[in-house]
């Protein structure tokens, strides 16, 4: 057959396939989400997320050491306080659990890049992401507390803050307060396009953050909507976001792809707890190859246009990159 164009020519060997690979990734692009609890000498396995744990500050080192050894040097901290109240006061307390963890990590692991999730849901007694007015989350009253929380994180050592609440105007509120206090160089990663998703179930188990009534559909996005996601992202860019995130990752890579040519900022995708739990469950049944699926999911996010990838598989993916299984 007289074929001039034969795409298979560039697939003939492992070395050649790697040489012409379009999507290349590195462990520096991985971010590990870590749950920190109060107390001491505790490592609690999360039932719905096998091989994921909640750590007290004095027990964090075992995981941090493993991450650094694998080559993953970025961590996003989520705090689980022992006390919750209507206004989530432990989120911005000087001795809050995230603030304690930040000081520990800054002192012992200067090579780590520390990010913090900024939200109220883990800290409020009602489990919603802001201040309530009746059964409704009051947007503008919440902004003050979110900004206050972000500032307290940065003062404790956070290198980057990542608001996940989906309140209108929170990027501007945080940027202004950080700047007023001299933190003009601290970047903000915005959970700009965060859908009201059933993929978050295991996280709410891990963080004890399920709402005590109703749901979060009045502030998180309707998963049917793409144009609205573009609008949310563009608004956050205008307000001063430095990195734009899409969450969840796997079922929302079309949103990443849509945003990529429109936004001249780094983009992040969060492979959330439900994605992790599904892979784990199927792997335990012997139905899939966990390592291969993990790598394929990550590559798909980078192929879609993300630059950063938040994943509970950060350590394992970094090891796979070392072996040349992905990257």
Give the residue numbers annotated as catalytic, written as ranges: 194, 247
**Are 189 and 162 a contacting pair, CB within 8 Å?**
yes
| Side-chain-facing half-sphere of 150: CA atoms under 13 Å | 33
Neighbours of 104 (CB within 10 A): 18
Look at phi and psi of residue 308 and say left if phi exceeds 0, alpha if psi is from -120 to 50, else beta: beta
Per-position b or e across 221-252, b if 16+ CB within 10 A of its CB: bebeeeeebbebbebbbebbbbbbbbbbbbeb
Neighbours of 106 (CB within 10 A): 15
Dist. CA 12–CA 238, nearest whole Å: 47
CA torsion sign for 256, 119, 146, 132 is positive
Phi then psi dihedrals of residue 260, to 5 deg: -50, -50
Neighbours of 264 (CB within 10 A): 7
177 to 115, 139, 149, 183: CA distances (angstroms): 18, 17, 10, 9
CA torsion sign for 169, 126, 210, 216 is negative
Structure tokens at 182: 């001299």
Structure tokens at 54: 């909640």
**Are 256 and 304 a contacting pair, CB within 8 Å?**
yes
């Amino acid at each position: 057959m007289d074929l001039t164009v034969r795409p298979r020519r560039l697939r003939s060997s492992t070395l050649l396939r790697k040489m012409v690979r379009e999507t290349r990734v590195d462990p520096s692009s991985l971010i590990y989400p870590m749950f920190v609890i109060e107390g001491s000498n505790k490592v609690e396995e999360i039932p719905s997320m096998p091989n994921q744990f909640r750590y007290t500050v004095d027990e964090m080192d075992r995981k941090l050491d493993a991450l650094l050894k694998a080559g993953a040097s970025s961590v996003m901290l989520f705090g689980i306080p022992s006390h919750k109240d209507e206004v989530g006061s432990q989120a911005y307390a000087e001795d809050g659990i995230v603030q304690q963890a930040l000081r520990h990590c800054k002192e012992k692991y200067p090579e780590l890049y520390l990010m913090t999730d900024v939200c109220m849901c883990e800290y409020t007694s009602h489990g919603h992401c802001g201040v309530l007015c009746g059964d409704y989350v009051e947007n503008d009253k919440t902004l003050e507390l979110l900004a206050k929380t972000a500032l307290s994180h940065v003062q404790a050592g956070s290198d980057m803050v990542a608001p996940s609440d989906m309140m209108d105007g929170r990027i501007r509120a945080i940027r202004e307060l950080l700047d007023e206090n001299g933190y003009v160089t601290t970047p903000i990663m915005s959970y700009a396009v965060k859908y009201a998703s059933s993929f978050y179930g295991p996280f709410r188990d891990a963080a004890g953050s399920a709402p005590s009534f109703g749901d979060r559909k009045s502030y998180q996005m309707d998963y049917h909507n793409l144009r609205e996601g573009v609008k949310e992202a563009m608004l956050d860019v205008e307000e001063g976001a430095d990195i734009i995130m899409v969450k969840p990752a796997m079922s929302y890579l079309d949103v990443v792809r849509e945003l990529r040519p429109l936004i001249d900022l780094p983009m992040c995708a969060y492979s959330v707890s439900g994605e992790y739990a599904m892979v784990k469950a199927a792997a335990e049944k012997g139905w899939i190859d966990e390592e291969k699926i993990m790598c394929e999911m990550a590559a798909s996010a980078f192929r879609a246009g993300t630059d950063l990838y938040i994943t509970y598989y950060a350590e394992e993916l970094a090891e796979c990159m070392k072996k040349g299984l992905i990257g």
